[in-house]
Structure 1
């Protein structure tokens, strides 16, 4: 089995052209939004840390070595992009041991900006969301009909995303990336510059029954496999032109919550449409696992048709002890603003935790 990520449909049509992403360090800035303020007291030290070209797990390992603690005593609310400038909280449970001098912590690419305390442990999942500042450089037309990039079409596409949202695809980071370099970059095709691999390749081994001993790599493989199937269902809803249109049997998620309810009465259709337009609710798709598929009627049939071609994936996910969950198929960027200058696009917006800014970018251009 070979799992591809290149065929997933865009919601608003083909890419408007191409652009360069992450050409400079400040072109992709991510700032964590906890949703609460640390109390300032307690046995848990909270570090507000800025990092560049470092992954979250590596920083956690470095903090553990510096503070002479077990890795389990270093926590964070969520992982952040490696190839970006990011700011996030790390939690350090130091208990009765002497607190190190954080001013002396040295790690190239990392800087502690603030030290405070909290009365509760920083746990994965407590994160409210992330704020993004993204710059797309060198907007270039790839159309045979237009030599120059169509700025008007870009403005229209941005307005569509602002007022109707974008597909809540898991980004390519979830599936792993293999970055290639060459002395003569002209000989490296756009396809070869960035190839999928990593986590999806591990996932395929998992499907084949191979054991992955490294816990972190095994976890990433499982996550990639589950995310791939979720993306496949979004793709099918776009292809069938019912991404924005509720179907009988849809599980509707309340915005800002994991709670959902079933749309099973046609008499409620007008109200459901209104609530979707107001961003009060979102249509969901399954994060696959063992147990009952929550959708019913038309939606249940659609989702089963989507996953039926992949019995090995279904069997693997069912066997791992994962339970059926739901995730919104649409993301709405909050505080979405942008500026277009000198053939560059600068965007600012916030997304809920677990959503990928690259899924917004994907609706605009190829990068």
Structure 2
């Protein structure tokens, strides 16, 4: 996949991430008051090296229910230590004895009841606590810049699959291949993400990724709401500088690329004509902020390691922050690649 343009230029640091799951910790942030009633058990779970979908299936099997009756707000990194909520529909009023659930890498820390299932996207965001090892170079300037300016809101490389496999899947879908629902979702998400990232990279290149332009769609901070910017006045400029508003890019679909849209978006889409045309047959256009606010950023240098923590909204990728700090190697992905090459 492309090495998309960074806001701060080529990083001066090198580091390694995810040499151990404990180096990459994710804690879900959710703003739902549980009512203590109803037919759903909500579980606050600690997972290590565990896929979110896999755990949902295991919880359904334990409860003797369909997987669709288990809810979770979002997928978390597998090669990590993560904390997140799951909801499990009670088959009977008696509920379940979660103390006897034994799954590798999984610990139920808290159980509560609620009247509603946990829906995808219901969380506000995630807290990331990361350890970058074998750090070379001084990250202080980059960290200060990120704290004040935010970072380009790129989709992470995991969205595209190994060697861009999900983009190939999208091309086969648009060529007429029938896919299972989950595979089709992966393909569509990857195709939209590629066009978005290329639009964002173009805006980074011309220095407008953090500025509103006439014809832009402004996205409200912490919201999916957006509005068309006909002209940019002092009030809009100030709101953008204050992170109340962000410029946005297209999640391509039907309705994208209209004549009154930004030329830069239409130009990028033409370079991905097959993907753009295919997406218009399967999904509606949406918008995503080009800029990502990094909340609660804190860090400490520990000899040749960098320990850092920050909050991001749901749908944002920690790697968008890391790539502005260091040219990093991912220990988990390197180990997986080596294993595939050796056939073990």
Structure 2 counterparts to residues 194-213 of structure 1, below 5 A:
196-212=163-179
**1:16 and 2:22 aligned:** no
Match of 1:167 among 126, 146, 152: 152
Other structure's SS at 1:249 match: coil
Q: TM-score, normalised by structure 2?
A: 0.91
Equivalence for 2:274:
312
Other structure's SS at 1:315 match: helix
**1:279 and 2:243 aligned:** yes
Q: In the aligned structure 2, how far is the partner of 1:55 from the partner of 1:295?
A: 43
Equivalence for 1:109:
105
Q: C-alpha offsets along residues 89-120 of structure 1, whole Å, 9 cap, x if unaligned?
A: 01111253652211111110111111101122
- 2:170·2:275 contact (CA, 8 Å) conserved in 1? no
Q: In the aligned structure 2, how far is the partner of 1:352 from the partner of 1:174?
A: 17
Q: In the aligned structure 2, how far is the partner of 1:217 from the partner of 1:53?
A: 22
Match of 1:232 among 173, 195, 198: 198
CA RMSD of aligned residues (A): 1.6
Q: In the aligned structure 1, how far is the partner of 2:61 from the partner of 2:85?
A: 18
**Superposition deviation, residue 292 in structure 1:** 5.0
Q: C-alpha offsets along residues 7-29 of structure 1, whole Å, 9 cap, x if unaligned?
A: 31111100223211011221100
- 1:262·1:295 contact (CA, 8 Å) conserved in 2? no
**1:351 and 2:312 aligned:** yes
Match of 2:61 among 60, 65, 79: 65
Other structure's SS at 2:56 match: helix
Equivalence for 1:254:
220
- 1:39·1:117 contact (CA, 8 Å) conserved in 2? yes
Match of 2:288 among 308, 321, 327: 327
Q: Which moved more, 1:203-212 or 1:118-127?
A: 203-212
Does the C-alpha gap of structure 1 residues 316 and 43 become closer, same or farther in structure 2, counting only changes over 3 Å? same
Q: In the aligned structure 2, how far is the partner of 1:295 from the partner of 1:94?
A: 52
Does the C-alpha gap of structure 1 residues 8 and 357 become closer, same or farther in structure 2, counting only changes over 3 Å? same
Q: In the aligned structure 1, how far is the partner of 2:258 from the partner of 2:35?
A: 39
**Superposition deviation, residue 161 in structure 1:** 0.6
How many pairs were matched up? 328
Does the C-alpha gap of structure 1 residues 259 and 219 become closer, same or farther in structure 2, counting only changes over 3 Å? same
Q: C-alpha offsets along residues 215-263 of structure 1, whole Å, 9 cap, x if unaligned?
A: 2222112111111111111011112222123211111111111111222
Gaps of 5+ in 2: 329-344
Other structure's SS at 1:133 match: strand
Q: In the aligned structure 2, how far is the partner of 1:250 from the partner of 1:291?
A: 15
Q: In the aligned structure 2, how far is the partner of 1:234 from the partner of 1:312?
A: 19
**1:86 and 2:82 aligned:** yes
Q: In the aligned structure 2, how far is the partner of 1:110 from the partner of 1:197?
A: 30
- 1:233·1:303 contact (CA, 8 Å) conserved in 2? yes
Q: In the aligned structure 2, how far is the partner of 1:306 from the partner of 1:277?
A: 26
Does the C-alpha gap of structure 1 residues 331 and 32 become closer, same or farther in structure 2, counting only changes over 3 Å? same
Other structure's SS at 2:79 match: coil
Q: Which contiguous aligned blocks of 4+ residues in structure 1 show a shift greater than 4 angstroms?
A: 292-295
Q: In the aligned structure 1, how far is the partner of 2:16 from the partner of 2:164?
A: 21
Q: In the aligned structure 2, how far is the partner of 1:128 from the partner of 1:247?
A: 28
Other structure's SS at 1:363 match: helix
Other structure's SS at 1:366 match: strand
Other structure's SS at 1:72 match: helix
**Superposition deviation, residue 208 in structure 1:** 3.4
